[in-house]
Chains A and B, each alone.
Chain A
Amino acid sequence: MPDKDDIVKEALESTRDQLSEVDREKHLVKAVKMLDCVEKSISKKEENFKDWYSLHFPEFIDEIDDIEHITKILRSSVERDKLESFDDLASSSKGADITQKEKDILQKIVDDLKSDIDTRSNLEDYIENLVKQEMPNLDKTLGTFLAARMIALAGGLEDMAKKPASTIQMLGAEKALFRHLRGNGKSPKHGILFEHEYVNQLPESERGKMARFIANKTVMAARLDSYSDKDKGEKFRDECRQKYEELAEV
């Protein structure tokens, strides 16, 4: 009969070891979720900020659309008379003057947006590096960010490698799939795979075939990335392109 204290000790130690193993894919899954969240936050704030700032300087907002660009210009000051190279627009502006209090708060919002945008680009760099390094096959087959998103939906690289291609094809279309299985609605042909350039550029009738094809290649790529070092990403990509050209001709 083994000693109880030994068993407790052994189990605790081995479980602690397993828990502290570095699992980079888990970080990837969380990073992708965080990226989605930051992107949503930016687009909401962007809309509201532009709206608000239009009260003061509508011409500027009409002129420049890109929020990253806007935050760069407004970083030092939000007051229209203090902006360099916008003198003409500023002097003829139809917007109302703003008080110091409004300047302060708008400046704060610009800073906030700027920091969100920095976070977003950091996250994107991080995800890109991780995907390129840890899953070269998926990276080439799907493209960096689609690969990252699909890994996040599948729950990790190994989880993805263990799934059948038909499941991969449906990732992101769960709602439509179960609606279909319950007997209402058409069967979905693709979930997030729609974001793949070879899928969304085809006519609707061909997308299902393309998505099925890519899903097959994706699973192969995931298995290679998970269990071996082989690099067949280019080959998968070429095969997908051939299939795409075939389908596009019809």
Chain B
Amino acid sequence: MEMVQPGIYAQKNMIYTKNAVPGQKVYGENLVNKDGSEYRRWISKRSKVGAAVQNGMDIELKPDMNVLYLGAASGTTVSHFSDILEEGIVVGIEYSDTVIKGLVELAEKRDNIAPVLGDARNPEEYNQYFDNYDYIFQDISQRDQAEIFLKNCRKYLKGDGVALLSIKARSISDSRLPEEIFDEVKNKVSSEFNIVDEVELSPYEKDHLVIKVKS
């Protein structure tokens, strides 16, 4: 096991995080014991951040950060964030009351996940938790995903914070070219923030781009 980024380990072209709750799988991933620690495989096909890391992006997530996670769903990626954030916490926003049940279950087993049932379109809905965050990640398959991202970054991103946006071209338009859609989103975002890195998620996801922004 070799640490490639804070809290993220690599072995034989696969990436892992140190399991915060040894013995427990979250979504059917493999557990690997090495040098006295247990590692959970981060399956890139199931997690967009996993795919971004696999494709070479430095996500700049550090163990002491407070993270706002938009579109947390049932917690597949959130569980790996929870592994990495040894001192930090991840606040997961999810709109659907069906899938958030999985996240609640996960949060009961780990002590650094705060599941919130809310709509990321209205950032005020969850302002009782933190006033701002070191890190924001968004994975929401909606037509207005860029606007949602900007709204949240404006309100919650710290001056020296990092934000990651996963863009799904197919939820913006079915017929236009993905590159055209990516450019459009990047233009919108870069009018307010600096895009410092970007990576496409193929072959793990089709027509997806992850961008990293700072203010």
Report which A residues bind B (CB closer than 8 A): 2, 4-5, 7-8, 10-12, 14-16, 18-19
Q: Is B97 an interface residue (CB 8 A)?
A: yes
A4-B89, A5-B111, A16-B104 known; A11 vs B129 contact (CB < 8 Å): yes
Interface residues on chain B, size class: 10 to 19
**What A residues does B91 contact at CB under 8 A?**
7, 11
A7-B89, A19-B100, A19-B104 known; A12 vs B114 contact (CB < 8 Å): yes
**What A residues does B117 contact at CB under 8 A?**
14-15, 18-19
9 pairs, CB–CB < 8 Å, chain A vs chain B: A2-B129, A2-B130, A11-B116, A12-B115, A14-B116, A14-B117, A15-B100, A15-B116, A19-B97
Tally A-B pairs: CB < 8 A.
Answer: 46
A4-B89, A7-B91 known; A15 vs B115 contact (CB < 8 Å): yes
Please give the distance in Å from A240's CB to the nearest CB on chain B: 35
Q: Is B107 an interface residue (CB 8 A)?
A: yes
**What B residues does A18 contact at CB under 8 A?**
97, 117
Contact mask B66-104 → A, CB, 8 Å, 1/0?
000000000000000000000011010000010011001
**What B residues does A11 contact at CB under 8 A?**
91, 107, 114-116, 129
Complex Cα spacing A20 to B110, Å = 21
Complex Cα spacing A8 to B114, Å = 4
Complex Cα spacing A60 to B130, Å = 74
Complex Cα spacing A5 to B113, Å = 9
